[in-house]
Amino acid sequence: MTCPTCDHQQAQGKFCGKCGAGLQPAETVNTQTATSPLAAAVQTAMPGQAATADSPYAGKVRNTSQGFAAYFKKYVKSPGAILQTGATEFKNGLILLILTTIVLALALTSLVHSFVLTLLEGLNEFTSFFGTPEPALTPSIISYFLSSFLYIAIPVALVIGILFATVKIFSTGRPIQQLTAFYGTLLFPTLFLSALSLIFKFLNANTYSIAALVAAIVFALIITPVYLNATLLNKSSTKTDAYYGTAIFTIVTFLVLGMYVNYLTDSAFGGVMDQINELRDFGGLF
């Protein structure tokens, strides 16, 4: 034993033989010393919770989610208010733009996939007259979605580009980030109509689903950009009248989108013609 007062060493006893101070066994001291940090940790920690450090990525995701939720709640009832306040909501506007494109692509995918399956079933019944039809290989639902997303993202990017050029030519110009935030915020009707189209498709109401999808596309590519262009030119048009600027924007947009739709139509028609030629060669119809 070692005396805590004078460091006198002795084999046993309750008191120091040199100074008379009380002694404690070394095991007891060591046990108390060893367990005291654990006891302190148990007292300070909440029951059932682990003291873990939050990663920077998780913190960014949480902050972004909270910011988008506040943005959604603020502008869902009056999306046009962002044009009055001029708020910088590039990140949230871009998130809403991407989200709307995804939902719109899902609605388009569900309709196209259902149509293709119905078409293939009809072709199989038709070719069954000439023998046992070979099973048709249909693309996966993921490939349909990726194609639909790309087909929608391209005209959206074209519209934003034409809008940026028109505002820059006929007024003082706006940063592309601000135009993206404005355009994305004004896509709330498109988002709701796309979701409605999905709901109708799940209910097998294909006619209403197609109508809601067409309305969503019209809102996204015609109504929203024309409204945004007219509002911005009315605010800051210095080189020409806002009416002529809006008219030019509308005409150019229709021409560009018309060429894009014509390209898609030719591609789709070409695919159908290839399938007809394969069917003709298979059945020896002509």
Q: What pLDDT sits at residue 37?
A: 52
What span, in angstroms and rounded, lies between the C-alpha atoms of 248 and 276?
Answer: 42
- Reported as a single tens digit per residue, the pLDDT across 27-48 is 444 444 444 455 455 445 544 4
Q: Picking from 49-63, 123-137, 179-193, which range would have the lowest pLDDT averaged per residue?
A: 123-137
Read off the tokens for 117.
């399956």
Q: What pLDDT sits at residue 69?
A: 93
CA-CA-CA-CA torsion sign (234, 238, 239, 240): positive
Q: How many CB atoms lie within 10 A of CB 171?
A: 20
Q: Bridge partners of 171?
A: 237
Q: What pLDDT sits at residue 130?
A: 55
Q: Provide the residue type at 231 as one letter.
A: T
Q: What pLDDT sits at residue 166?
A: 92
Percent of the chain surpassing pLDDT 90:
43
With a CB cutoff of 8 Å and minimum separation 6, the contacts of 136 are 120, 123, 124
Evaluate if residue 10 carries a pLDDT over 70: yes
With a CB cutoff of 8 Å and minimum separation 6, the contacts of 105 are 145, 148, 149, 152
Evaluate if residue 128 carries a pLDDT over 50: yes
Q: Which residue has the higher pLDDT, 127 or 2?
A: 2
Q: Which residue has the higher pLDDT, 165 or 241?
A: 165
- Reported as a single tens digit per residue, the pLDDT across 223-276 is 999 999 999 998 876 667 888 889 999 999 999 999 998 888 777 655 555 555
The whole-number average pLDDT for the span 185-211 is: 94
The whole-number average pLDDT for the span 68-94 is: 88
What span, in angstroms and rounded, lies between the C-alpha atoms of 232 and 201?
Answer: 37
Q: Between the CA of residue 153 and those of 45, 89, 192, 259, 267, what are the distances in Å? A: 50, 20, 18, 16, 17
Q: Which residue has the higher pLDDT, 144 or 182?
A: 182
What span, in angstroms and rounded, lies between the C-alpha atoms of 24 and 12?
Answer: 10
The model's pTM is 0.70
Q: What pLDDT sits at residue 112?
A: 84
So where are the chain's domains? Answer: 1-37, 65-283
The mean pLDDT of the chain is 79
